């Protein structure tokens, strides 16, 4: 006779939402993780420096700027920033800029990054953007393959001036 198994309780699905002040310790911890091409120098505390809360408050006050988190089972497992840029060029078009994409190392390869990027692309469409763009460090070959798999194309050479 075959074994009977009880139904397995499923965990809540991954959700993407705006970051809240309570998320900041985890978000800053993610940003501080040494990673291929990660040049950020974050201070995850404790205590968490006030500059992070102040920055999130400014972002939250701007309807075209948002810090988002991916939450799985109540835990922040990823984050990214999405900014909508209004142009005069391109016939007054709008562009969505994705920055600071990070996924908890232990859950990479499980669809978190893809879910975040698909959310960003859908939001860009909803807001009438004609393009989604991002930058990624030249040494992050794994990230390049990931973005290319999602349809992003290496079309421009980025330049930065550190102040």
Query: Which CATH number fits the domain that encloses residue 50?
Result: 3.40.630.30
The Cα–Cα gap between 104 and 62 comes to: 27
Residue 9 lies inside a defined structural domain of this protein: no
Residue 125 lies inside a defined structural domain of this protein: yes
Contact indicator for 83, 134 with CB cutoff of 8 Å: no
- Distance, C-alpha 140 to centroid of its chain: 16
93 against 8, higher pLDDT:
93
Least confident of 10-14, 58-62, 94-98, 141-145: 10-14
Contact indicator for 102, 117 with CB cutoff of 8 Å: no
Residue 162 lies inside a defined structural domain of this protein: no
Residue 65 lies inside a defined structural domain of this protein: yes
Confidence at residue 9, expressed as pLDDT on a 0 to 100 scale: 45
Domain of residue 97: give its range.
15-149
Q: Find, among 162, 94, 80, 90, the residue nearest to 131 by Cα.
A: 94
Confidence at residue 7, expressed as pLDDT on a 0 to 100 scale: 43
Residue 48 has pLDDT above 90, yes or no: yes
What does the pLDDT look like over 74-105, one tens digit per residue? 999 999 999 999 999 999 999 999 999 999 99
Q: How many domains does the chain have?
A: 1
């Amino acid at each position: 006779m075959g074994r009977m198994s009880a139904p397995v309780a499923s965990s809540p699905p991954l959700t993407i939402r705006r970051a809240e002040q309570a998320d900041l310790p985890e978000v800053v911890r993610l940003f501080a993780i040494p990673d291929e091409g990660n040049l950020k120098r974050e201070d995850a505390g404790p205590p968490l420096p006030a500059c992070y809360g102040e920055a999130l408050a400014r972002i939250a006050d701007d309807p075209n700027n948002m810090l988002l988190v991916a939450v799985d089972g109540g835990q922040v497992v990823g984050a990214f920033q999405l900014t909508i840029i209004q142009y005069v060029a391109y016939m007054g078009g709008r562009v969505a800029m994705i920055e600071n994409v990070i996924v908890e190392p232990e859950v990479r390869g499980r669809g978190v990054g893809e879910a975040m990027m698909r959310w960003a692309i859908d939001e860009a469409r909803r807001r009438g953007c004609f393009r989604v763009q991002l930058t990624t460090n030249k040494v992050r070959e794994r990230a390049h393959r990931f973005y290319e798999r999602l349809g992003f194309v290496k079309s421009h050479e980025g330049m930065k001036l550190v102040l």
